[in-house]
A and B are shown apart, each in its own frame.
Chain A
Amino acid sequence: MISIGFDDQGKIGLQYVTESLHPCSPFGQERVRKLRFFAPDERAALETELDNTERAAEAADRLGPLYEQIMLVLCQLKDIRGSVTRLSEGAVLDHVELFELKGFLMRISDLLPLFASMNETVRAEGIAFSDPSEALDVLDPERTRSRGFYIPDGASEELRAIRAEKKRLEKQLYEVPDAEKDPIRTERARVCAEEETEERHIRKAMCLSLLPHVPAMQKDADAAGRLDFLIQKALFAKQYGGVRPEITETALELTDMVNPELCDLLKAKGRAFVPVSIATDRGATVITGANMGGKSVAMKTLALNVLLMHAGFLVCAKAARIPMLESVRMLFDDAQSMQSGLSGFGSEIVRFNEALSEVEQGYSLFLIDELARGTNPDEGAVIVQAVTRYLNGVNAISILATHYDGVAENARIHYQIIGLRDVDPGRIKAELAAAHEDGVAVIARHMNYGLYRVEGKADCPKDALNICRMLSLKPEILERIERAY
């Protein structure tokens, strides 16, 4: 079962996604709060969920007003599951609980026609509501369908008589002089007690009659949560451009995927996220590139989108082919590990071991960012090369980002950050001379964070040297560097 820690959810932008959803009902809110990832043996259920989401997202423009109407009803749902459980255990519910049950059933009956009309287009499979009118008749025997909950006089002959007597005494209280009121008050108190007892009998009978409807109410609460979540997923896909992923056996292939959190962050700064594409499969894939964030972003975006599919979301990409995974593990640069007592490197190895043993349990995704970055480059390269060779034989898609040389040729697949590959250094130099802005900002603007696949043997790109040139490092030093290359 995939389970993602709170920290990782934040790092890859999954938390941003869940916070951007606005589920209306307590049941929908719970689904978002406790995001559940489908396991490989639930493939059929995931396919259904993805189909539902795709159709709901496609219809989102046309059905927008209808979705809003549905959300408005969902907003009014209260969590009645506690009362329903008490009901099933034979408890006699009080007035307020019965009011909330009635309210719930009335909202469900409001939902029925709206959902039916949505379903003409969306055909959401596996979501169904039962007709609540029989249960409503128990709580509203006179079929007033009023907003409040009230036990009507006609609920029993006894109640009618008791309430008539109560009314008679109240009238009398108004009419007689003060001195004569006390015996009437005493009598009234007795009648009020009788009324309470009789109402309790009636509430008990109502609860008994509701008992057969318990499974339907539980199912409806669940269906409301699913519908709520479905609409939110559809609206999310509409906002960030979602595609229905194809579920594969082992291959993982994402074309032009984006990360909503980074998209919005860059947009606020007037820049745009460069979509990332990657195609990989079982074994080790290595991503190389100069150390400028591109590698981590690619891996986090990949992790996010793989997880979105497992939670039944459309994927933020142009096209996606994703296998079902037993687990998703990530080892990202983590400042916390520094505080754990072990050295950075030591704790990294501990975490790696722990993650590896989980990854080896079944087909998984294993993302490792700059393993052994804290140790000396010669040793680090040897370690990462060995890990890469080992991961080739593990039943998992392992992706390693590294800037160590000699790792890539040990991997099945090698990707590289495009970086400054296609940029003419002369042009940047000219731009730097003309502009008075920060040289680093100019370079960052020209940096291409996209990936390209490297066939055959290739070393890490020599972007560092390019950057030295563009930023006009002292010529005497530059000369020496060039000679040493």
Chain B
Amino acid sequence: MQKALIESICRTRTLSIVGMCKNAGKTTVLNWLLGQSRGRVLGLTSIGRDGESTDVVTGTEKPGIFLSEGTLFATAKDMLSLCDVTQEIMDTTGIPTPLGEVVLVRARSAGSVQLAGPSITAQLKTVSDRFFSLGAEQTIIDGALGRKSLGARTVAERVILCTGASYDMRMEKVVADTANIFRIMNLKKVGTVPAESDRPLAETLKAHGEALIPGALTDASVVPLLKSGVMRNVRLVVKDPSKVLLTPDTLDKLPLRNVALETVEKAEVLCVTVNPVSAYGWKFDADAFMKAMSKAVDVPVINVKEALQ
């Protein structure tokens, strides 16, 4: 992997790993990161419980998360019996989950852990702040899938987006949808935030040529304005990328009408990782997949099956 990329990954204080689907190679990326960070103190947590059941004994097919000694992690109390590191309990957080309170633990030996962290952005922030106060140099958030993780970008400065053949049997769809998520995550960060208005969107745009979208930006509100011509040469600002619920088609039309879509909160996508092997039996041609994905995004693309092994 490129040295510059590794450096910028290591320099990031809070990093989130977001997957397009299960078996996208998130855990492989995470373990690789954990391996890169030997000697530095890391804090590790997840958004909610990652549904994957990991095979601790064989450690092959579905990799477990393997920590080195000294790493801090936050997980639900009931998960502790499934972690085989020697544990030093550092703090309790009062954050409830269905699997018990979130507890901060220092691994006093290397070993595997099961993560089930907080599911609310504000709580994730609390946990990562505690990590830093316990001496962590970097916090890594094992993001769950989809929109929930897009919301976590207010916590993490930078993001690694993981995608793979498990998402869909058609490579074109995997590439297109990943590119769409990438595009939404990489919206331009806003310079000046338009004033909030309680007028209908059409009126605000006519009057000011720009609008701050208070909630979600949907096709239902955008498409009619595109058709009527109101939405032309204007600027739309969302609070964070998770608020953009536009279909790729609509998203494509915006630049054609010279509509700028910007975001208030923003985290940078550092790279996209691909896993050409699906957990459900099919497999993409690794080179073709890499090539298509690289063309669709303007950040480095990494094959987890090769570069990170």
Contact = CB atoms under 8 A, between A and B. Distances in A.
Contacts of B103: 96
Contacts of B91: 147-148
B80 A99 contact: no
A95 interface: yes
Interface stretch (B104-112, B151-159, B239-247): B104-112
B87 interface: yes
Contact of A150 (B57, B58, B59, B108): B108
B88 A148 contact: yes
The A interface is mostly helix, strand or loop, or mixed, namely helix
B84 A170 contact: no
B109 A147 contact: no
A96 B77 contact: yes
A388 B123 CA distance: 61
Interface string B101-124: 101001011110000000000000
Interface string B52-63: 000011110000
Interface in A4-36: none
A166 B77 CA distance: 23
A149 B77 contact: no
A453 B77 CA distance: 66
A148 B109 contact: no
For A98, A99, A147, A186, the residue with the greatest tally of chain B CB atoms inside 10 Å of its CB is A99
Contacts of A181: 59
Nearest to A150: B88
B89 interface: yes
A221 B111 CA distance: 37
B78 to A, nearest CB: 10
Given A95-B80, A185-B58, A147 B86 contact: no
B89 A150 contact: yes
Given A95-B80, A182-B58, A170 B89 contact: no
Given A99-B89, A150-B87, A192-B111, A185 B59 contact: yes
A305 B98 CA distance: 45
A55 interface: no
Contacts of A166: 86, 109
A167 interface: yes
B94 to A, nearest CB: 9
Interface string B84-100: 10111111100000000
A365 B103 CA distance: 51
Interface in A51-97: 78, 94-96
A468 interface: no
A189 B90 CA distance: 24
A195 interface: yes
Nearest to A146: B88
Interface residues on B, range: 20 to 34
Nearest to A99: B89
A201 to B, nearest CB: 15
B77 A163 contact: no
B109 A170 contact: yes
Nearest to A78: B92
Contacts of A167: 109
A182 B61 CA distance: 13
B90 A195 contact: no
Contacts of B86: 150, 163, 166, 195
B92 A96 contact: yes
Nearest to B77: A96
A124 B86 CA distance: 44
Contacts of A148: 88-91, 106
Nearest to B56: A189
Nearest to B103: A96
A149 B57 CA distance: 27
A100 interface: yes
Contacts of A185: 57-59
A182 B106 CA distance: 26
Nearest to B83: A192
A94 B92 CA distance: 13
Given A170-B109, A170-B110, A95 B87 contact: yes
A150 B103 CA distance: 14
Contacts of A99: 89, 92
Contacts of A195: 86
B84 A96 contact: no
A95 B57 contact: no
B136 to A, nearest CB: 14
A408 B103 CA distance: 67
Interface in B37-62: 56-59
B99 to A, nearest CB: 13
A95 B87 CA distance: 8
Interface string A273-311: 000000000000000000000000000000000000000
Nearest to B59: A185
A186 B57 contact: yes
Nearest to B57: A189
Given A147-B91, A148-B90, A192-B111, 10 more contacts: A94-B80, A95-B80, A95-B87, A149-B89, A150-B88, A163-B109, A170-B110, A170-B111, A182-B58, A189-B56
Give 3 closest A-B pairs by Cβ, nearest first. Answer: A150-B88, A99-B89, A192-B84
Interface of B: 56-59, 77, 80, 84, 86-92, 101, 103, 106, 108-111
